Amino acid sequence: MSVEELLREAVRLTEDQQLTLVHRLLLASEPPASEEVERAWDLEIRERIGRYDRGETVSRSASAVLADLDQRLAS
């Protein structure tokens, strides 16, 4: 099947199915994470949670973070 044929079929899917397809395509294009990378992320997550639990950092809503990014990109 050509890319054009795939696209014609994909636009017939429901929005939810289209998003699932896009997500799976993006995942398929990523190299698999190594165990070393997974361990490093696990350690980073635990350290961030620890800092939050100790009151060393504060949380922000995703909408606030995205609004800041939009503002920075618009400048």
Residues 72 and 63 sit within 8 Å (Cβ to Cβ): no
Residue of 59, 65, 26 whose CA lies nearest to 73: 65
71: which 2 tokens?
């503002």
pTM value > 0.75: no
pLDDT tens digits for 5-45?
999 999 999 999 999 999 999 999 999 889 999 999 999 99
